Amino acid sequence: MMLHRLFLILCLWLASPAWAVPAMWQVGQGKRQITLYGTIHALPKGTDWLTPQAAQAFNRAGTLVVEIAGPSDPAAMRAVVMELGRLPTPVPLASRLPDELKPKADALLKAAGLPVGALDGMESWLAALTLVQIEVARAGLDPAAGVDVALIARARAAGKRLIGLETARGQLALFDSLPEADQRLLLASAIADAGKTVEQMQGLVAAWGAGDVDRILKDFDDASLSPELEKRLFHDRNAAWANWVQAALKRPGRKFMAVGAAHMAGPHSLIAMLQARGIPVKRVQ
């Protein structure tokens, strides 16, 4: 179940309703207002998610704020991945896994058309993400249809200012800096959960499309996520984004802030952190 959160972080989804009404909030007022919008970064083509109310908020904003202000150059991105995720000396993947998962790991690689040692040169976190991406690719998901990609294209076409809260290198570094024990926990989870992706994600995507934040929290309240991984992927990033929102509200300008939907749910969410600082947050969709 831990892989649920990893999928949301990577925004790799396998199904979506034809018409979606994702959750949306507003903070501030007048000319100092920020719309907060929970996103999914990859969707099947044809998903209709930009409601009239969301479109109006986006059109009124002079700035779009996203996690990463891409799209990144593919060659440059591959270079970063290779720099951060390659081991100086290959380590057999099997040696990093519990005995009961070794046969399934071999089967997954074989099904993907990869030799058994294909991931031996990768750090454990990159091997885990690679296995996740293989599963998603088999599901026919199109990252080019994601919410962020569409919003960034709209913002550039309209001449809006574009702000990235993080960089691709910074996001990958979150995984790269994890202790090896946590990286192997990710790797084991990626293998153990392989094959369950479609069923698990369909319910979560339905919750996103319905704007059901309570359901997202329930499905992603995962005790198997290590405290360190939880802290780095969610708590620390949410706190940094809350700092950004608090500072941005002191300056004139309407902004549309679109970040992963998992960051909007729960007691340590971006929404909850803003409210804890005394900043009123109004649900508007």
Per-residue pLDDT of the chain (285 residues; tens, 9 = 90+): 444 455 555 543 344 445 578 889 999 988 899 999 998 776 777 777 889 999 999 999 999 999 998 656 778 888 899 999 999 999 999 999 999 999 999 999 999 899 989 999 999 999 999 988 887 667 666 677 778 888 999 999 999 999 999 998 998 998 999 899 989 988 998 898 887 766 666 666 677 777 778 777 776 655 555 777 778 888 999 999 999 999 999 999 999 999 988 898 888 899 999 999 999 999 998
Q: What is the number of alpha carbons within 13 Å of residue 223 lying toward its C-beta?
A: 0
Within 8 A by CB and 6+ apart from 226, the residues are 181, 182, 185
Cis geometry, peptide bond prior to residue 179 (ω within 30 degrees of 0):
no
CA angle centred on 85, ends 82 and 89, rounded to 5°: 95
For residue 69, give the DSSP letter: -
Which are the contacts of 249, defined by CB distance < 8 A and separation ≥ 6?
Answer: 27, 28, 32, 34, 279
Measured at the CA of 148, the angle between CA 142 and CA 151, to 5 degrees, comes to 115
pTM (two decimals): 0.84
What is the Cα–Cα distance from 112 to 94, expressed in whole angstroms? Answer: 17
